[in-house]
Structure 1
Amino acid sequence: MLYLFSVRYSGSDGRAVLYFYDDEEHKIVKIPDYSGHKPYLLTDLTPDEIIEKFPEVIKHPGFNKLDIVEKYDALNDRWIRMTKVEANDPLSIGGSGKSIRELLKDHSWEAKIKYHHCYIYDRQIIPGMPYKYEDGEPKIVETSVPEGIRKLVEGLVEDKIQAAEMIEWAKLLSAPIPKIKRVAIDIEVESEALRVPSPKLAEDKVIAVSYYSSDGRKGVYLLEREEKHGNTQISLGDARITFFKDEKELLLATFKLIEEYPLLVTFNGDSFDLPYLYNRALKLGFKKEEIPISWKERDEYPELRNSIHIDLYKFFTNKSMRVYAFGNKYREGNTLDEIASALLGKGKVRHEELISEMTYQRLAEYSFRDAELTYELTAFNDDLVIKLIILMMRISKLPMEDLTRHNISAWIRNMFYYEHRQRGWLIPNPEDIKRIKGDTSTRAIIKGKKYLGAIVIDPLPGMYFNVLVVDFASLYPSVIKTGNLSYETVRCPHEECKRNIVPGTPHWVCTRRRGMMASIIGILRDLRVYVYKKAAKEVKSEDEKQHYDVIQSALKVFLNASYGVFGSEAFPLYCPPVAESTTALGRYAILKTMRKAVDLGIPVLYGDTDSLFLWNPSRDKLEKLLQSVLDDLKIDLSVDKEYKWVVFSERKKNYLGALKDGKIDVKGLVGKKRNTPEFIKKLFTDVVTTLSKADTITSFEEAIEQVKDDIRESIMRLKNNQISLDQLAFNVVLTKDLQEYVETTPQHKKAAQQLLREYKKLYGSTPVNIMKGSVVSYVKTRDREGVKHVQLARIDEIDTEKYLDIMKTTLEQVLDALGISFDELLGIQSIDDFLQIKSKK
C-alpha cells in the first residue's frame, strides 16, 4: 500500500506533488497532481467590481481566471456568493508585496493558507492514510472498523448521523500503520575553541557522520586528519567504522546513505545538520543537483528532495507532546541528553575535551551514541513515536514534515480548516470573528488573562484521612460539547436563541444548529473516553491493547490542548465569548457538583479547575454523586486519586498528601525542578520519603519531628561548609550560544564566561567549547558577581544566605501544609545547638 506522507508544490512543474511511502518496496513514490488544481483566494467583490476597481488584479502576470462560488457564511448563518480569484502559482496569491492578496487587501479571504494545505483540503486527501494508485489517480483504501469498536460506537450514540460521523473518524484511527524504513544520522564538525560552527558559513570540516537504521545498518564515517588522533584500528561493537581520506568522499557516502532511506531522522537537523551539510557540500564544489538536500535561508526548513526528514528536537519540545503524550517525564528539557535519559534510560557520552581533539575511538563513541539515541527515540515502545505521528497526521490532516515542526495550535487550526472546506463553509478572517462576536465580559483574577478562568475553592486547613479526589473526564472538551460552543453558535444572529444564556455570562448559544467545534471536539472526546479507553481495558490481545492505548493517547493530545488553543488570541478561529463561555461552564459544573455533594452529606475539602477533594464518602453516596452529575450535566465524574491522608494549608493550590500506594503528592513539586542543586533536591526527597511512611496520626506526628531534625541538620551542615561544591551546583543548559545573550546576562552565562577567561589566562587559549546545548555548572557566591563556575569556586566563598533562601522556597510548600516554620528551624547556630535539641527529645 501507499501511505501519504507529504504534499509539496513543485515550482518547476507548476503543480502539487504527492509523496507516498510504499510499504512493500520501502521507498518514497512521488506522484504529480493531474487534477489541474490551482492556487486561489476568495473575495466579496463581483468580477465586474474587480475589473472596474482593481484592474491590476486581472493584469497581474500570475492571474489565471475568475469564478463565482457559493460559500456558507457561518458567522451570519447564510449562504453567499463570492468570487474565486485563481492564479498560476502560490506566490502570485500571497508572499510578496505585489501579490493579488496585497492588491485586494481587506477584500480577500482564505489568502494566507499555504498552498499545499489548500490542495489537501480541496482534494480531500488525508496524510498518513493508506492509498492505492488506480486509473491514474491515488484513491484511499477503504478501512474497516473492528467489530468491538463499532459496537461501542453504536451503543454510545442513538443518532444515526452522529454515529456515522464517529465511524468515519474511527476508520482514520483504525487504518493500519506501516513499519517505516528509516535512518538516524548525526554529524560532528571540527571547530576551534570559543567559536560555534555556523551552518550558513560551513567553514569547518565535517569529521564524523554517524548512522543508525531500522534495517540493522549502523556505523560511523570518520575523516582521517593530519594530526594524530589515535589508532585507526578502532572498535564499536557491531557498528561499522569507515575512514575517508577526503572530506568530499565522506559527504558523497553520507548523501548516498540518505538517498537509500525514505525517512531521515535527526535531532536539531533543521537548524544544524542539514543546512551545514548542504552549505559545506557547496563549499567543496558539489553541484546543487548532487546534494539530496534542498535549502535556502528563506525556507521554513530544509527538505530532502526524494525522501522525508523529521527533526525530533521540534517534535519532543512541543509542549503538548511533552505534557500530554509523555507525561512531563522530561519536563522543560530541550536537549537530546535529557529527553533520551528520561524516555530511554540512557543519555549522551560525556566529554570534556573539544570534539576536534578527541581520539578516533572517542569521537566514534560520542557521535555514534547521538545517532543511536535519535533512532531509539522513534523506536521505543514498539515505534510509539512513529505511530503517534501517523495518527496525529490523520487527525490534523497535516503532512508529516509540518506536523512534526509546528505546535498544537497549527494542528487544530488545520483540522478545522479542512472541515470548513468539506462542508463548503467560508473560512472566516480573525478580525471578522472579533468584530461580529465582540469581546469578553468577565474580569480575570490572574494577571495577563482577559477573562475569568477556572474556579479554585479555598481549602479547609488541617489534616484529613481517607480523602478521595473526583475529577471530570476532559472537563473543557466536555463542556464545549455539551454547551454546543463554537465560534458560529455563541452569540449567533437568531433572536430566539438569546434566551439560552451561558451561566455567569451575557453570552447565549444557538439552539438551531450544532456547532462545528462542539461537534468535532465532542466526537474526539467520546471516542477517547467511551470507545478506545474502554476497548483498551476490555481486549485480551496485548497488541490490540497497545494499539488502542496509542490511539487514545493521540486523542488526548488534541483534546487537552483544544481549550488552550480556543483561548489564545494567536489562534485564527479565536472567539473571546467562546473561551469565556468554556470557563464559565467549567465553573458551573464544579459548583453544581459541590452543592450536590453537600446535599448528600459529603464534606468537600478543596476544589481546583476540574476536581474536588471529598472527605471519607461512603461508597453509596459516592455512586449517587457520580450518577447525578452524569444525569444533570452529561459529564463523567470519576475517582482519580485515593489518599491515606491529606494536609491542607490556608493557601490555595498548596497541599500535601499520601496516596494509598505510599507515594507522596505535593502540589507543584517545587523540589523536583531541574535546576535545583542536588543537596536541596535530596533533602526534599528525604522529607517526602519520611512523610510517605506515616499512616496513622501518631506515626504522622513522629514523621513531622523527623522532618524537622533532617532540615535542622541540613541547615547546620550548610552553615558549617560541610556540603561539597558539586552538591551545591546549579546545572543549567545554554538555550542559545553565548554571544546571543544580548539583552540580559543570566548567571549561567556569567559562569561560562568566567571559565573561558580563566583558561585563556592560564593557557593562552581554552580546551573547552561552550555553546548552545552545553551544561554550565555554577554556585552562588558572596563576591560582586554573585556567582562562580563550579571549577573556579572555593567552599568558603559560598553565599550561605542565598542557599538558605533556596532551601526555604523549595520546602515551604510542604512545610506550610505541615504547619512548620522554616524561620524557626533557622534558629540553630551550631552542632552543639543541634545535639542539645536532640537530647531534649
Structure 2
Amino acid sequence: MQSYSTGFVLTRQSRDYQGQTEVILWVKTEQGPVRLVVAGDKPVCFVPEEQQQQAEQLLAQAQISATWRQVGLKTYQHKPVVACYNQTVRDAHQVSQVLATNGVTCFESDIRLADRFLMERFIRGGIVFTGDSIQKQGYVEYRNVKAKAAEFQPQLSMVSLDIECSEKGILYSVGLHSDADSRVIMVGDPTSVKEAEQQTWIQWVSDEKSLLLALEAWFQRYDPDIIIGWSVIDFDFRLLLKRAEWHKLPFRIGRGNQTPHWRQSNKNSHQGFITIPGRVVLDGIDTLKTATYNFRSWSLESVSQELLGEGKAIHNVHDRMAEINHMFRHDKLSLAHYNLQDCKLVTRIFEHTHLLDFVIERSRLTGVELDRVGGSVAAFTNLYLPQLHRAGYVAPNLDSDNWIASPGGYVMDSKPGLYESVLVLDFKSLYPSIIRSFRIDPMGLVEGLLLEEGKADNQAIAGFRGGRFHREKHFLPKMIEELWQARDQAKRDGEKAFSQAIKIIMNSFYGVLGSSGCRFFDHRLASSITMRGHEIMKMTRELIESQGYEVIYGDTDSTFVSLKQAHTAEDADEVGQQLVEYINGWWQKHLDDEYGLVSALEIEYETHYHKFLMPTIRGQETGSKKRYAGLIDRNGQQQIVFKGLETVRTDWTPLAQEFQQTLYHKVFHNEDVEDYIRDYVERAQQGEFDDKLVYRKRLRRKLVEYQKNVPPHVRAARLADEINAQLGRPLQYQHGGWIEYLITLNGPEPAESRKSTIDYQHYIDKQIKPVAEGILPFIGKDFEELIAPQMGLF
C-alpha cells in the first residue's frame, strides 16, 4: 500500500522527454524538497465538432498525430466541441498554429500543461501525492505520481540576495542573508584587510569565476526555497547569468543541480523572467506592487526609509558608483557591510509587510504561482475554468476585436466648500457585493440569454446593456461569498496578509471581467456591475437626503454626507450608525420586493471629519473630484487626511507640501493665517527653503523621443547628461528614470549640478499661490492681497 505525502507547490514546468510530456512539480514538504514527475499527461485543445473533419485533414497534411475524443462540452454559442489530444507540447503548439492559420477555431490551446494539471485537480498550493519514490542527493523524486488538492501551510526558507559590481558589470561581491547563514562572497585578498581573520562572514575568493562557483556551492549547501531582492530579476540575476555565460559556467543554482532558465518579456521590454527549478524568486518591488503598495519612489533607500525609518546614505547614482569602486579598491570591509546591509533591508521590508505570507495565501486561494506578478486574469481562470468544464462548457477565446468599454465607477459632482462635520459612508466591497446580489457571472450570462423571453422573468435577473443572468446556474457569486466569509474570519483572527490577499482577489474580479485581456470578457458583464453601482449610489444619495442631510460628494463606493452643523464625535457616530441601519434595511427590502433576491449590499460608517474641505477645480468655480482634505480623530489625536492634493502628489515640491500642511492645520483649527502666509513667502524669497525647492519627476520615455513638447524635467535631464558627457561619466537619463531639478532664472537645471540663481518668483506663483488659493476663498481671504505689502519690499 502506497503512503501519501503532503506539501506545497513551489515551481511547475512541463517539457517533452522521449516522445511524451513530463509535468515537473517541485514541492516543499515537512520532510524536505520533493520533485514530482508526471509523465504522459497529454496536452489538449477543443475544436468545434463541425470543423473536426477539416482539422483532421489539415493535421494529416502537416504530419502531426492527434487523438480525437467526444467530451460532452460545448461553446458559449451552444455548439458541441471535440477534444484534440497530442503526445507532446511541441505537437500541441504546431496544432494550434496550423488550425488557426487555416481558419479552424481552437479553444483553450493557450492553457499551459502544468497549469491545467493543477487547476483541473483544484490544487492551489497545497498538494497530497503518492507514487514511486527515489532518494536523490538533497531531495526525493516521485514517479507514477497521483495527486490531488490538500490544505497545507508551508514553512519556507528564504534568502535575500544582492550583488555589487563595477559600472561595466564586473562582479565585486554577492551578499546573502538568511536565517541559516549570512555572508558576503567577496573578490579580494583577505591579507590586505585589517583584522580579516575576525570577519568570518566574509568569504574571500580570488576572482569573478570563483565567486560564481562559490555562490553555486552556497545554494547547494543551504538550499533555500525563496530568493528575494530588489530588482533582483532584472538586475542581479540578469547580470549573474550573463557573467556565468561569459565564464562558460552552467551555474547550477537550482534544485537537483539544475540551471536557471531566463526569458525576455518581449523585444521592446527590458523586463525579464527567471525560472529556477525548485526555487522561487520574488522581487521586492513587483511583489509590493502586487500587494497594492505604492511609494513616491521605488528605490530601496526610499522604500526602506518610509517603511522602516532607515536606509542608505548614498543617493546620487554617480556618487554611489564612485564610492563602491573606491571601497572595492581601498576598503573592502566597508563594501561588504554595505552589500549585506542591502540584503538585510530587503529582508526587513518583507518581514514588515508580511510579503511572503501574502504570496503564499494568494497561491492557496487561487493556485497562481508564488512569483506571479499581478496575475488577476490567471487567478480568475484557475478558479473558474474547472467549474465551467464540469458545467459542460469550454472557455471562450480572447476576443479583443469586439471590445466595448464599460462605464467606470460612479463619481458625483461635488459641492465645494469648507464644512463642519462630514461623514463618510462606504459600501463594503461594492462590486463584489453587486456580483453576489445580482448573480453576475460569465456562464450565468450565457444561460440567462438562452432562456426564452417568457421564462426569463422568473428564471433570470436583468442586467444592463442587454445582459441577463440565470438565477441558479452560476459560479462567481458563490466564489465571492466564500472569499467574503474567509476574509471576515481572517479579520477576526488578525491575519492581515490573508485578509489583504482575499480583498485584492475579490476586487480584481470586476477588473478581470472588464478587461479585453481576459477570455471571459463581455461588456454586458462589466457594465452590469458598474451601471448597477451607479444606480445604487444615486439611490443611496436620495435615501440620505430624505433624512435631512446633504450629500456633497460620492466616489465609486463612498458617500460624503454633510451634517450641516458641527457635531461632537459621539453625536456624529450616532447619526452615522442610524444612516447605516436605515440604508441597509432599505436595500434588503428593495431587492426582495423588486427582484426576489437576498441583498449582500452593506454600507458602513467609515469616518467623521470634524472639518472638511472640498475644493474647486483650480481656476474654476466647479467642485473638484477625488481631491479633498479633512480633520479626523485617529488614535486619540487629531490629524489631517489629504486626498489627491499637493501634499500627497509626487510632482509637487516639499515647499508646497510643507506650506499646505501648516496652512490647512491653521484653517481647520480657526487660527490666523495672514502672518503665517506673509512670513512663509518672505522666507522663501530670502532663500531659507532652498532645500525644499526640488522637483522630482519621472521620464516616461527615452530622452530623444521628446520632440515637439519638451517639459521642464526633460530639459533638466538633457542638461544633466550634457554635463555627464563633459565629465566622462555614463549618461544617466537617455532611457528614462527619475530626475531632480530646480527652476532657475535660466530655466530648469538638474539639482546635482545647478549653476544659476533660483527663480524664487516661480515658486511663489506656481507652488505657494495655488495651494493658498485652494482654501483661502472659503475663509474670505485673497492671497494676492495678503502678500501685496510684502512684495513691495523686494
* TM category, shorter: 0.7 to 0.9
Alpha-carbon distance between aligned partners in 1 of 2:116 and 2:102, rounded to the nearest angstrom: 19
> By how many angstroms is 1:663 displaced?
1.8
**Which shifted more, 102-111 or 792-801?**
792-801
Q: If each structure's strand is expressed as a fraction of its own residues, which one has the higher value?
A: 2
Structure 1 residues 98-133: Cα deviation after superposition (integer angstroms, max 9, x where no partner): 8344345442111122232222233x1423214343
Change (3 A) 1:749 1:336: farther
Change (3 A) 1:524 1:108: same
Equivalent position amino acid for 1:464 in 2: Y
Partner of 1:201: none
Alpha-carbon distance between aligned partners in 2 of 1:104 and 1:45, rounded to the nearest angstrom: 16
Which among 530, 535, 538 is matched to residue 591 of structure 1?
538
Q: Please, which runs of 5 or more residues in structure 2 have no aligned partner?
A: 1-5, 133-143, 266-271, 564-571, 592-598, 616-621
Partner of 2:128: 131
* Pairing of 1:213-362 with structure 2 (within 5 A): 213-215=178-180, 217-224=181-188, 231-233=192-194, 240-259=201-220, 260-287=223-250, 292-297=258-263, 301-318=273-290, 321-322=291-292, 326=293, 328=294, 330=295, 333-350=297-314, 352-354=319-321, 355-358=324-327, 359-362=331-334
> By how many angstroms is 1:740 displaced?
9.2
Partner of 2:605: 639
Structure 1 residues 453-500: Cα deviation after superposition (integer angstroms, max 9, x where no partner): 333334444443333221111111111111111234346122236558
Which among 413, 418, 424 is matched to residue 469 of structure 1?
424
- Aligned to 1:63, what secondary structure does the other structure show? coil
> By how many angstroms is 1:744 displaced?
8.1
Q: Please, which runs of 5 or more residues in structure 1 have no aligned partner?
A: 143-174, 192-196, 198-203, 441-449, 537-544, 695-699, 834-841
> By how many angstroms is 1:728 displaced?
0.9
* Pairing of 1:282-681 with structure 2 (within 5 A): 282-287=245-250, 292-297=258-263, 301-318=273-290, 321-322=291-292, 326=293, 328=294, 330=295, 333-350=297-314, 352-354=319-321, 355-358=324-327, 359-380=331-352, 384-401=354-371, 403=372, 405-431=373-399, 450-490=405-445, 492-494=449-451, 495-496=453-454, 499=457, 505-529=464-488, 531-533=489-491, 536=492, 545-547=493-495, 549-616=496-563, 619=575, 621-622=578-579, 623-633=581-591, 634=599, 635-649=601-615, 650-653=622-625, 654-661=627-634, 662-681=638-657
* Pairing of 1:89-238 with structure 2 (within 5 A): 89-94=88-93, 99-122=97-120, 124-133=121-130, 137-140=145-148, 175-191=151-167, 197=168, 204-215=169-180, 217-224=181-188, 231-233=192-194
Change (3 A) 1:825 1:314: same
Partner of 1:88: 87
- Aligned to 2:611, what secondary structure does the other structure show? strand
- Aligned to 1:57, what secondary structure does the other structure show? helix
> By how many angstroms is 1:642 displaced?
1.1
Change (3 A) 1:20 1:546: farther
Change (3 A) 1:98 1:480: closer
Equivalent position amino acid for 2:80 in 1: R
Change (3 A) 1:274 1:292: farther
Structure 1 residues 338-360: Cα deviation after superposition (integer angstroms, max 9, x where no partner): 33333333324526242333331
Alpha-carbon distance between aligned partners in 1 of 2:92 and 2:780, rounded to the nearest angstrom: 65
- Is residue 754 of structure 2 the alignment partner of residue 793 of structure 1? yes
> By how many angstroms is 1:209 displaced?
0.5
Q: Percent identity?
A: 19
Contact between 1:92 and 1:99, CA under 8 Å: does it hold in 2? no
- Aligned to 2:36, what secondary structure does the other structure show? strand
Contact between 1:349 and 1:365, CA under 8 Å: does it hold in 2? no
- Is residue 38 of structure 2 the alignment partner of residue 33 of structure 1? yes
> By how many angstroms is 1:61 displaced?
5.0
- Aligned to 1:379, what secondary structure does the other structure show? helix
Alpha-carbon distance between aligned partners in 2 of 1:628 and 1:373, rounded to the nearest angstrom: 51
> By how many angstroms is 1:426 displaced?
0.7
- Is residue 682 of structure 2 the alignment partner of residue 716 of structure 1? yes
Partner of 2:568: none
Structure 1 residues 571-600: Cα deviation after superposition (integer angstroms, max 9, x where no partner): 322111121121221122122222222333
Alpha-carbon distance between aligned partners in 2 of 1:588 and 1:237, rounded to the nearest angstrom: 71
Partner of 1:17: 23
Alpha-carbon distance between aligned partners in 1 of 2:16 and 2:775, rounded to the nearest angstrom: 61
Alpha-carbon distance between aligned partners in 1 of 2:259 and 2:686, rounded to the nearest angstrom: 56
TM normalised by structure 1 equals 0.77
Alpha-carbon distance between aligned partners in 1 of 2:157 and 2:515, rounded to the nearest angstrom: 38
Structure 1 residues 532-563: Cα deviation after superposition (integer angstroms, max 9, x where no partner): 33xx1xxxxxxxx333x332211111122322
Partner of 2:136: none
Equivalent position amino acid for 1:493 in 2: L
TM normalised by structure 2 equals 0.82
Contact between 1:656 and 1:817, CA under 8 Å: does it hold in 2? no
Partner of 2:719: 754
Alpha-carbon distance between aligned partners in 2 of 1:296 and 1:742, rounded to the nearest angstrom: 36
Structure 1 residues 358-408: Cα deviation after superposition (integer angstroms, max 9, x where no partner): 331332233222222222233336xx211111111122221223x2x3443
Change (3 A) 1:790 1:11: same
RMSD, aligned CA: 3.6
Alpha-carbon distance between aligned partners in 2 of 1:523 and 1:434, rounded to the nearest angstrom: 34
Alpha-carbon distance between aligned partners in 1 of 2:226 and 2:424, rounded to the nearest angstrom: 45
> By how many angstroms is 1:49 displaced?
1.2
* Pairing of 1:738-749 with structure 2 (within 5 A): 747-748=712-713
Change (3 A) 1:377 1:89: farther
Alpha-carbon distance between aligned partners in 2 of 1:177 and 1:587, rounded to the nearest angstrom: 41
- Aligned to 2:473, what secondary structure does the other structure show? coil
Partner of 1:194: none
Equivalent position amino acid for 1:380 in 2: H
Alpha-carbon distance between aligned partners in 2 of 1:253 and 1:736, rounded to the nearest angstrom: 39
Contact between 2:677 and 2:787, CA under 8 Å: does it hold in 1? no
> By how many angstroms is 1:689 displaced?
3.2
> By how many angstroms is 1:221 displaced?
1.2
> By how many angstroms is 1:210 displaced?
0.5
- Aligned to 2:243, what secondary structure does the other structure show? helix
Contact between 1:716 and 1:828, CA under 8 Å: does it hold in 2? no
Contact between 1:38 and 1:86, CA under 8 Å: does it hold in 2? yes
> By how many angstroms is 1:18 displaced?
3.7
> By how many angstroms is 1:760 displaced?
5.1
> By how many angstroms is 1:246 displaced?
1.9
- How many pairs align? 725
- Is residue 724 of structure 2 the alignment partner of residue 727 of structure 1? no
Contact between 2:131 and 2:145, CA under 8 Å: does it hold in 1? yes
> By how many angstroms is 1:673 displaced?
2.0
> By how many angstroms is 1:809 displaced?
4.3
Alpha-carbon distance between aligned partners in 2 of 1:608 and 1:265, rounded to the nearest angstrom: 38
Contact between 1:15 and 1:32, CA under 8 Å: does it hold in 2? no
> By how many angstroms is 1:3 displaced?
1.1
Contact between 1:267 and 1:313, CA under 8 Å: does it hold in 2? yes
Alpha-carbon distance between aligned partners in 2 of 1:141 and 1:39, rounded to the nearest angstrom: 21
> By how many angstroms is 1:770 displaced?
7.1
Alpha-carbon distance between aligned partners in 2 of 1:579 and 1:98, rounded to the nearest angstrom: 30
Alpha-carbon distance between aligned partners in 2 of 1:794 and 1:574, rounded to the nearest angstrom: 55
Contact between 2:228 and 2:346, CA under 8 Å: does it hold in 1? yes
- Aligned to 2:607, what secondary structure does the other structure show? strand
Contact between 1:600 and 1:621, CA under 8 Å: does it hold in 2? no
- Aligned to 2:655, what secondary structure does the other structure show? helix
